[in-house]
Amino acid sequence: MSGKRSLKRLEKQQAAKNKAVEKAKARREKIIGSVDIPDSSSQEVMESLKKMKAITPTGVAAQFNLKVSIAKKMLSDLEDNGTLELAARSHNLKVYILK
């Protein structure tokens, strides 16, 4: 058989290339879900923290539907502001109290 490829085969190869390029573009354009962080100094946040028996990152994450890492950041910001105080700590858990 000669080295020439049929027109049908060339069309299939081109279509496969185009599909692969579109797939790669779609992968690059993937949008990571945005996280809506509540304002840590808002009245709503403070009231819900007052109602909690123990203020932990896991509890705050469940209360505000956040990731635990975001809740940890929010609690550490509140501690830096002087709103919260670290009551107890272990290697994997922090418990805060309101001042």
Q: What tens digit of pLDDT does each residue of 35-71 get?
A: 667 777 788 888 999 999 889 999 999 998 888 988 9
Rounded Cα distance, 96 and 98, in Å: 7
Instruction: Name residue, tokens 């290697």.
Output: 91
Residue 89, pLDDT > 90, answer yes
* pLDDT band (50, 70, 90) for residue 8: confident
Task: Confirm whether 53 is domain-assigned.
Answer: yes
Task: Confirm whether 83 is domain-assigned.
Answer: yes
Instruction: Name residue, tokens 């779609």.
Output: 26
Task: Confirm whether 21 is domain-assigned.
Answer: no
**Strand-pair partners of 26:** none
Task: Confirm whether 9 is domain-assigned.
Answer: no
Task: Confirm whether 30 is domain-assigned.
Answer: no
Task: Confirm whether 92 is domain-assigned.
Answer: yes
**Percentage of residues in the chain having pLDDT higher than 70:** 85
Task: Confirm whether 91 is domain-assigned.
Answer: yes
Number of domains observed in the structure of the chain: 1
Instruction: Name residue, tokens 């081109």.
Output: 14
Could you tell me the residue range of the domain that residue 93 belongs to?
Answer: 43-98
Query: For residue 72, what is the domain's CATH number?
Result: 1.10.10.10
Query: What does the block give as tokens for 6?
Result: 């049929």
